[in-house]
Amino acid sequence: MATIHPKAGTGDICSFNIQHGFAEALIRGMRSSFLVDPDYHHLTQCETLDDVRLNLTETDYSEALEDYNSLTPNTLQKAAVEKLVTEFQYLRTQTVEPLSTFLDFITYEYMIENVMLLLKGALSGRDINELLEQCHPLGMFKESTMRSIPTFDNTSKGYSDLYQTVLVDTPVGPYFAQFLKESAAHRGSDSRNVLEEVEIEIIKSSLIKFWIEDFYNFAMSLGGDTAAIMGEILRVRADTNAINITLNSFGTPLNEPAMRISDRKRLYPAVGHLYPAGTTMLADVSDEEELGRVLELFPQYSAIWSIHSSGNGEKSIDDAFYERDVQMLELAFESQFHFAVFYAYVKLKEQEIRNLVWITECILQQQKDEIGKFVQVFSQHTPWRESKRR
């Protein structure tokens, strides 16, 4: 997909605030809404969900929970996500190009996830209203479009019609077209047969790959600190995807020798620290031991892999990725005059929501021994911050 090149860059220290100063001031003000160390301490000491609700009335989530009579992990997640979406949509109304396009790129990931959720749900015969409830609000199309996606026939013509009549007019339509084109060329078949031949998760991985590459090219075209900071965030995101795709492929047809190069390698984004040498080596690995040997060649990932390979159960590889991501995203707030802070805010809020859901689930299931296993945002006690103070 051809990246849209902005007519004007982000500006520098002298001109950034002319176009984007108000939006940046808003997002930096919103940073104060994050839960702080005492908030987490109080939440982890709660015995019931009513105690959690009482403690949250002293935080920025107070108004978001007013419309809910009772608190459950699901209602808390719904209220928190709705709050985030409201904030994001307000920010979007206060922006001009190229920042408005940058914010649109953030939403494309959720659009892809929603389309894949509806496709997967349609194949399993789930109710459309149930599926729409699970869709992320940041990735919603018009309701008529959302309801059209699961109504196609489970035939080659039905899949072709789905793209040509529905997805082609969505912002993620070009990624879908690119997937169909590449898959048809790779498989030597008509594009309308592709979706029947490929698993939904592979389609999703392909679309996310195209989105990362497109977002990366757009960020780099902006130049300045946005290119430097956001470029690094997306490079790491691309590497994380490549590692997870490889790890999750073990024990599946994607790990068969013939499919490692022909199919699995094609899912790796063409950006990142692992690209191209690392991704070429990843395409050849057949088990976790070989994957570990490849990652040991890249210092930024060898420590994360050692956590996974140790198998002590204290921390998963996903936890290690989350910790690394939170540190990078927090550091985005340490400099000014760039767009990466908007992406960082959304992703850090998502992590905070995961933390709240985890805490409430542990309380509900009376698993207090596990309640502290989350990645706190903007904590003064994180290892990397404490090491800086020594």
What DSSP character marks residue 286?
-
Task: Give percent above pLDDT 90 in the chain.
Answer: 68
Instruction: Give the residue-averaged pLDDT of 287-315.
Output: 87
What pLDDT is recorded for position 119? 84
Across the chain, mean pLDDT equals 90
Instruction: Give the residue-averaged pLDDT of 34-59.
Output: 97
What pLDDT is recorded for position 3? 56
Statement: residue 156 has pLDDT above 80: no
Q: For residue 158, what pLDDT band results from cuts at 50, 70 and 90?
A: low
Statement: residue 370 has pLDDT above 80: yes
Q: Is the model more confident about 202 or about 273? A: 273
Statement: residue 193 has pLDDT above 60: no
Statement: residue 2 has pLDDT above 70: no
Percentages (nearest 5) of helix, strand, coil residues in the chain: 70, 0, 30
In 110-206, DSSP assigns E strands to none
Instruction: Give the residue-averaged pLDDT of 90-109.
Output: 97
Range of weakest confidence among 64-68, 125-129, 179-183, 378-382: 179-183
What pLDDT is recorded for position 200? 80
Instruction: Give the residue-averaged pLDDT of 137-146.
Output: 93
How is residue 1 written in tokens?
């997909």
Q: For residue 192, what pLDDT band results from cuts at 50, 70 and 90?
A: very low
Statement: residue 196 has pLDDT above 50: no
Amino acid (1-letter code) at residue 297: L
Cα–Cα distance measured from residue 283 to residue 377, given in angstroms and rounded to the nearest whole number: 34
Statement: residue 389 has pLDDT above 90: no
Q: Name the region of 311 (left: φ>0; alpha: ψ -120 to 50; beta: rest).
A: left
Statement: residue 167 has pLDDT above 90: no
Q: Is the model more confident about 74 or about 126? A: 74
pTM score over 0.85: yes
Instruction: Give the residue-averaged pLDDT of 31-37.
Output: 97
Statement: residue 137 has pLDDT above 90: yes
Q: For residue 190, what pLDDT band results from cuts at 50, 70 and 90?
A: very low
Range of weakest confidence among 2-16, 20-34, 36-50, 300-314: 2-16
DSSP H or E stretch at residue 5: none
* Number of other CB atoms surrounding residue 209 within 10 Å: 23
Q: Is the model more confident about 152 or about 331? A: 331
Cα–Cα distance measured from residue 330 to residue 385, given in angstroms and rounded to the nearest whole number: 11
Instruction: Give the residue-averaged pLDDT of 85-91.
Output: 98
Which pLDDT tens digit goes with each residue over 318-340? 889 999 999 999 999 999 999 99
Q: For residue 123, what pLDDT band results from cuts at 50, 70 and 90?
A: confident
Cα–Cα distance measured from residue 180 to residue 169, given in angstroms and rounded to the nearest whole number: 15
At residue 198, φ and ψ (nearest 5 deg) are -120, 140
Q: Is 328:233 a contact under the CB 8 Å cutoff?
A: yes
Q: For residue 160, what pLDDT band results from cuts at 50, 70 and 90?
A: low
Instruction: Give the residue-averaged pLDDT of 332-356.
Output: 97
Q: For residue 93, what pLDDT band results from cuts at 50, 70 and 90?
A: very high
Range of weakest confidence among 99-108, 153-162, 202-211, 347-356: 153-162
Cα–Cα distance measured from residue 86 to residue 155, given in angstroms and rounded to the nearest whole number: 39
Amino acid (1-letter code) at residue 3: T
Range of weakest confidence among 84-98, 132-146, 374-388: 374-388
At residue 54, φ and ψ (nearest 5 deg) are -60, -40
Instruction: Give the residue-averaged pLDDT of 340-364.
Output: 98
What pLDDT is recorded for position 9? 67
Which pLDDT tens digit goes with each residue over 239-280? 999 999 999 999 988 899 988 988 899 999 999 999 999 999
